[in-house]
Amino acid sequence: MKVSLHERTAPLKKPFTISRGTITEQPVLIVEMEHNGKRGFGETTANDYYGHTLESISASINKVLPTIEQLDVVRGDEVYNAVVAELANDMFALSALDIACQDLAGRLAGKTCFENWGLEWTGMPESSLTIGIDDTDAMVANLKENPGWNNYKVKLGTPRDIEIIEALRGATDAKLRIDANCAWTADEAIEKSKQLADLGVEFIEQPLPFDAPRADFKKVYEGSHLPVLADESCRVPEHVEPCGEVFHGINVKLCKCGGLTPAVLMLTKAREMGLKTMVGCMVETSIGISAASQLLPLLDFADLDGAILLGNDPATGVVVDHGKVNLADGPGTGARLKD
């Protein structure tokens, strides 16, 4: 099997802000795997919060290339199983490799990834569109510039969180979900959950920092007026079980957990435990979004707007049309690099 890496910098349509900072462009690393005349694509992004640059991710991938190049891909989880131990400290690298392998296995079998996993595409949840942190008026303007979605995910973690949701609620009847990205304390989360519940919010993602005391998670779990989903607290398969005791659901991201292979395990386990399931994304290209979309048959909620936020997507794949995810033609994830 042959592996090649492609670096791209994808500009955003407009600056995107969450509680931790602002970005105007997204550096991405595309992995291309070729075997028996078929090509699979995987992707990961640079990320300051998780401490990964394209250089560090490329170095991790290059370290395991000799192992991967010897593989004869038949199953989608083969690369993951072969290198998961060696890449235990770089889920971003592992994720890009696993996505490419799952895509390639699908293309070799002539099936989509979800068909390869025995899943069916019926009654899929719609994606939300994310509204980043900005002046309250600018957030309302952003929502109004993007009408027709049934779900908006609003980034919070400001002194005017409730004012923002009151303003957005005045502008739409659509479902509103909150992502606090670790910005609140336990008491703040409980108080805000009451006000947000009164404003018709559906759920809250990651109110507390992942390293907050366990007692604080328990307090929010028991006191919150809205369901609370784990994101930064639920990164890899081992986190699902402990999260089940202090969250009502989990948000899985491919680059945090190490790709599609562990994501399927985490979502299946979460459903067995009675937890709500969601898949989120980074600001990323249609390669990453097409991969994450393969998980829709296992989801209650989806947040797959990453490629829509780009001004210039270097790839093609699934099309997210006002939240409805339309599959690309062809097997695997259906994604392709444009040039």
Residues that bind Mg ion (CB under 5 A): 179, 205, 231
Min. distance of Cβ 280 from Mg ion in angstroms?
Answer: 5
DSSP bridge partners of 29: 7, 44
Taking the C-alpha atoms of residue 129 and residue 133, their distance in angstroms, rounded to an integer, is 13
Min. distance of Cβ 231 from Mg ion in angstroms?
Answer: 4
155 is known as an active-site residue? yes
Min. distance of Cβ 133 from Mg ion in angstroms?
Answer: 13
Which among 38, 192, 219, 253 is annotated as catalytic?
Answer: 253
* 117 versus 301: smaller Cβ distance to Mg ion: 301
- 187 in a known ligand binding site: no
Taking the C-alpha atoms of residue 32 and residue 155, their distance in angstroms, rounded to an integer, is 33
Give the pairing of strands 151-155 and 324-326: unpaired
Q: How far is CA 112 from CA 102, 103, 193, 325, in A?
A: 9, 8, 39, 14
Buried (b) or exposed (e) across 194-217, using 16+ Cβ within 10 A? Answer: eebeeeebbbbbbbbbeebeeebb
* 258 versus 280: smaller Cβ distance to Mg ion: 280
- 135 in a known ligand binding site: no
253 is known as an active-site residue? yes
Taking the C-alpha atoms of residue 234 and residue 214, their distance in angstroms, rounded to an integer, is 14
Give the pairing of strands 38-45 and 324-326: unpaired
* 32 versus 205: smaller Cβ distance to Mg ion: 205
Taking the C-alpha atoms of residue 99 and residue 293, their distance in angstroms, rounded to an integer, is 12
219 membership: H or E segment, kind and range? helix 214-223
CB of 187 within 8 A of CB of 163?
Answer: no
Min. distance of Cβ 277 from Mg ion in angstroms?
Answer: 14
Closest-by-Cβ residue to Mg ion is 231
Min. distance of Cβ 249 from Mg ion in angstroms?
Answer: 12
- 115 in a known ligand binding site: no
Backbone angles phi, psi at 145, to 5 degrees: -75, -15
Which among 155, 192, 256, 276 is annotated as catalytic?
Answer: 155
* 116 versus 181: smaller Cβ distance to Mg ion: 181
* 280 versus 317: smaller Cβ distance to Mg ion: 280
Position 95, amino acid: S
The binding site for Mg(2+) consists of 179, 205, 231
Q: Which residues are catalytic?
A: 155, 253
The binding site consists of 179, 205, 231
